[in-house]
Amino acid sequence: MGLRLIYIIILLLFPSILFSQNISTKALCVFIDIDNGKYITANDSLDDLISNNPKPEFYLAKAEIFFKLSNYNEALTYCNKLDKIKPFYSSELKLKIYLENEDQEKAKLVLEENLKSTYKISLFDLLETEEHSSIYQLELEEFILSGNLYSRTEKQLYQAERLILDNKYNQALFIVKEMLSRNNNIAQAHYLQSKIEYFEGDLNGSLKSINAALNLKKSNSEYLKQRRVVNYDLKEYKTALQDINKLIKINPYQIDYYITKADLLFKTDQFDEAINLTNYILEILPDNSDVLYLSSKSHFKNKNYFEALKAVNQSLQIKSKKEYYELRGDIYCATNTYEFAIKDYSMFLDMEAYNGDIYAKKGYARLKLGDKKGACSDWEKGKRYGSYEAINYLERYCR
């Protein structure tokens, strides 16, 4: 117990220990600002970051900000600086700039550079995403599809992805399986098969396929995200947590990864760790209602009812969600404040009227206040809506 207490104190005093990559709060905030369109603020912060640590990701972020602000010359200046540090890393952004400038020849040149690099844009992303849609205005699609810019395999993968986009899973699966019958080492084909199986509800098959993809390409972000989703749905939370840690290592500037990690810490009963991580996230995103809710749940599991109530009240000030009312009702029940619990369960039922488990909880709170008739009435409704807990209460108290 002594060592565990010391560990908790260290985490409270130094929350950055939670991040094995030692990522600075300032760097994380920059990328959040970019996502939220706060380009001027992010740009100023990036200057400080680059002066201390000229990482390629920071230069690319600068270039992307200027691109978003339609300052294409300045964006290209930073792309060229970046190319000296990490060749071709900015090639996709340069393509977008030339597409916006309607410069067909330079777009062709940079596209050829990109397609020969390790940052090759997939055919699906090139031809089907909004950010590259100017390709059709510049009539570059024939140039892209002709010749040897993309292999036969890549063109088949593109065809399968289009079919998946159109929900034509059987046709897509036929193409994918035909490809794998010829060559079982096509990681992207295993990935697409996993997506198809996931959409069709075959979680075990989807997991097998994405494992095959990751055996071929262990650090692919898209593959890790897919496996994290599949394992989450399979309730294999410890395995999902391992993958989210890998994703954070690959891209430490994605705040959603940390929120997902906090959720997975909660689901693996690591409540102290979940609390510390949510506290850190809330320093950056103080008005994120979902993180406040997760913090409240973690405190509730640790029987820190005051902190749990404080956090869920904050989340309800920001957003009204049925889950928040249920949690607050549970907190009130745990602290014997049953009249308030009944009100919150009623708020939940105003949003979702046919939830038997909430009727079971509401009935229990009414029983504790001495309203047995009202409790039995709630449990009858809970039974009607499929709650085993309500049935147990009925048999125990209402015969």
- Residue 291: Cβ-neighbour burial (10 angstroms; 0-12, 13-18, 19+): buried
pLDDT band at 142 (very low <50, low <70, confident <90, very high): confident
pLDDT band at 399 (very low <50, low <70, confident <90, very high): confident
- DSSP character at residue 235: T
User: pLDDT digits over 197-252, tens only?
Assistant: 999 999 999 999 999 999 999 999 999 999 999 999 999 999 999 999 999 999 99
User: pLDDT digits over 356-366, tens only?
Assistant: 999 999 999 99
DSSP 240-297: HHHHHHHHHHH-TT-HHHHHHHHHHHHHTT-HHHHHHHHHHHHHH-TT-HHHHHHHHH
Identify the pLDDT of residue 16. 40
pLDDT band at 22 (very low <50, low <70, confident <90, very high): very low
Residue identified by tokens 């807990």 is: 389
User: pLDDT digits over 59-74, tens only?
Assistant: 999 999 999 999 999 9
pLDDT band at 23 (very low <50, low <70, confident <90, very high): low
pLDDT band at 30 (very low <50, low <70, confident <90, very high): very high
Cα–Cα dist 98/291, whole Å:
40
pTM confidence score: 0.88
